[in-house]
Amino acid sequence: MSEPIKQIFRFILFLLVQALVLSNMPPLNRFVTPYLYMLFLIWLPFSVPRHWMLVLGFITGFSLDLFTKTPGLHASASVFLAYIRTPFLRLLVPSDTKELKTGSPGIRSMGLTSYAFFVLLLTFFHHVWLVFIEWMSFGDIVYFLGKVFFTTLTSLLLIIITELLFRPIRKRRAD
Amino acid sequence: MKNFFLLLRRSYVLLLFLVLQGVCISLLVKYNKSHQARYMELAYDFTGSLNKKYADIVSYFSLSDNNKKLAEENNRLRNLLAENFTTIDTLSKLVRDTVKIDSSKVTRKFLWRTARVINNSVSSQNNFITLERGRLQGIGPEMAVVSASGIVGIVTDVSDNMAIVKSLLHRKSTTSVMLKNGGTTGLLEWDGVNPQALQLKGIPKSTVLKVGDTVLTSNISLNYPTGLMVGTISKVEKQTDGNNYRLQVKPGTNFYNVDFVDVIENLFLKEQQDLEQRGVKH
């Protein structure tokens, strides 16, 4: 499958899972709303130019907003994620990595430690931004900190599961 | 020179970032201010149709539950039928009415329409419900939405075939309600914490009440007909300061699985609002 088609397919899949399942199910707790859709942005190839990254971030977030009826909320958070993604990549990936032209972030291209750190940071900052905007209309610091912490935790759990299901390391090594 | 271009290139991305964030924030502010954004209609029609397909699938899982609820409601309505009542009154006798004008004429005030829920949220601080009925089917803003077991919310925005309802689980939702026992009126709000606990404010401490008392819509509510089920009092806290109770109400509607609802139009709403507006001016 060619790269753009693969990405579009992935975009639709992540969006539907997020909008119809994760944002729709009864919450386990008021602090916990798991997010997975930003994995689409995290998994985009290294070679995507930065301004396209921003535009894609906006489109992704806004599409989700149309489902959740919060125009601007997720869009803002995912644009922020798209903006900080490149600096983090520069920080974590050595510039002589040979996959930098063709590959995308993953355990194989970045190494387990850097990749885990990369995902953790992006997810965390995305949630901080998202919950901060949501929180602006009613100030409750416990709610803010609690929601950031627990939502990040559940999202990371989901990301690990997705990672294990769809991008197993052993198979990637074989090819 | 090279440095200048590098700088320009760099700030170009930052500029784009700021512009996009500006768009997001303005959308958010505008939407939050009015709870309705006309330009979103088209998009909602699309996501609404997608949500409908999804709801079709999901509704299979709750079929038996819905049947049970419908049966219960049928039972309740049958009990209200006129045949169930009889007057044992031998004093009255039939008299032919000679007055030409029918003085007992009634005018319809509330019109009920059924609708189906195709999208629903309980997880956020401001929850909305999407109905599969819109402007073309006669739904308009400010109409009340009730389920078989309690009130649900108020319609805030309609497109051609969809309507969006601000549910009781919304931080800006206020509903005028009264206690069934005694008729004291108060305001029902939600603090955004627990979907099973709404806050009832403005009930003075002199009122006699206990946990389990029924709360109904009040007679001064604009949107809802009087006396609809709202919920039951689940917790009574006496504040040390102030004259009022702090009450928690468990909503009668189960917001986790609300499926079929009735949309109620108050046909006198505009007239009442106009009149009250005029009263304010004088």
- State the DSSP string of chain A: --HHHHHHHHHHHHHHIIIIIITTSPPSBTTB----TTHHHHHS-TTS-HHHHHHHHHHHHHHHHHHHT-TTHHHHHHHHHHHHHHHHHHHHS-TT-GGGTT--SSHHHH-HHHHHHHHHHHHHHHHHHHHHHHHTTS--HHHHHHHHHHHHHHHHHHHHHHHHHHS-HHHHHH-
Is ipTM > 0.90 here? no
- Long-range contacts from B150-154, C-beta under 8 angstroms, 24+ separation: B150/B228, B150/B229, B150/B230, B150/B231, B150/B251, B150/B252, B150/B253, B151/B175, B151/B217, B151/B224, B151/B228, B151/B229, B151/B230, B151/B252, B151/B253, B152/B253, B152/B255, B152/B258, B152/B261, B153/B129, B154/B223
**Whether B124 and A68 lie within 8 Å, measured CB to CB:** yes
Min Cα separation A84/chain B (Å) = 10
Lowest pLDDT segment from A52-61, B71-80, B191-200: B71-80
Model pLDDT, residue B50: 80
pLDDT below 70 — which residues of chain A?
1, 26-30, 97-101, 137-139, 168-175
Q: Which of A25, A61, A71 sits opposite B31 (nearest CB)?
A: A71
**Whether B43 and A58 lie within 8 Å, measured CB to CB:** no
Range B62-94 burial, b when 16+ CB lie within 10 A, else e: eeeeeeebeeeeeeeeeeeeeeeeeeeeeeeee
User: Distance between CA atoms of B267 and B109, rounded to whole angstroms?
Assistant: 5
User: Distance between CA atoms of A72 and A66, rounded to whole angstroms?
Assistant: 9
Give me the residues paired with residue B237 across strands.
Answer: B246
Model pLDDT, residue B271: 86
For range B231-243, the mean pLDDT: 81
Q: Which of B16, B119, B125 sits opposite A134 (nearest CB)?
A: B125
How far is CA B94 from each of CA B90, B91, B275, rounded to the nearest angstrom? 11, 10, 41
Model pLDDT, residue B207: 85
Q: Quick check: helix, strand or coil at residue B247?
A: strand
User: What residues in B contact A20, CB-CB < 8 Å?
Assistant: 51, 54
For range B52-74, the mean pLDDT: 80
Could you tell me which chain B residue has the CA closest to the CA of A64?
Answer: B47
Find the Cα–Cα–Cα–Cα dihedral A169, A148, A34, A159, rounded to 10°: 0
Confidence band (pLDDT; 50, 70, 90) for B267? Answer: confident
Q: Does A99 touch chain B (CB under 8 A)?
A: no
Model pLDDT, residue A174: 44
CA B164, B169, B173, B174 dihedral sign is: positive
Confidence band (pLDDT; 50, 70, 90) for B153? Answer: very high
Q: Which of B21, B124, B130 sits opposite A79 (nearest CB)?
A: B21
Could you tell me which chain A residue has the CA closest to the CA of B166?
Answer: A69
Confidence band (pLDDT; 50, 70, 90) for B126? Answer: confident
Q: Does A81 touch chain B (CB under 8 A)?
A: no
Q: Which residues of B touch A (CB under 8 A)?
A: 12-13, 16-17, 20-21, 23-29, 31-32, 37, 40, 43-44, 46-47, 50-51, 54, 119-125, 128, 130, 164, 171, 192-194, 256
Q: Are B145 and B151 in contact (CB under 8 A)?
A: yes
Asked if residue B32 has pLDDT above 70, the reply is: no
User: What residues in A contact B193, CB-CB < 8 Å?
Assistant: 30
- Average pLDDT in chain A: 83
Q: Which of A24, A50, A79 sits opposite B24 (nearest CB)?
A: A79
User: Distance between CA atoms of A31 and A33, rounded to whole angstroms?
Assistant: 7
- Average pLDDT in chain B: 81
Alpha carbon B103 to chain centroid, angstroms? 35
Asked if residue B99 has pLDDT above 50, the reply is: yes
Min Cα separation B17/chain A (Å) = 7
B17, B32, B46: best to mutate for the A interface, most A CBs within 10 A:
B17
Model pLDDT, residue B280: 76
Count Cα neighbours of A16 within 13 Å in the Cβ-side half-sphere: 10
**Whether A138 and B46 lie within 8 Å, measured CB to CB:** no
CB atoms within 10 A of CB B106: 6
Tell me: the pLDDT tens digits for A17-67? Answer: 888 888 777 666 667 778 899 899 988 888 888 888 999 999 999 998 888
Model pLDDT, residue A168: 67
**Region at B202 (left for phi over 0; alpha for psi -120 to 50; beta for the rest):** left
For range B178-193, the mean pLDDT: 88
Higher pLDDT, B114 or B38: B114
**Whether B121 and A30 lie within 8 Å, measured CB to CB:** no
Model pLDDT, residue B127: 87
Alpha carbon A6 to chain centroid, angstroms? 17
**Whether B164 and A69 lie within 8 Å, measured CB to CB:** yes
Lowest pLDDT segment from A21-30, B15-24, B52-61, B180-189: A21-30
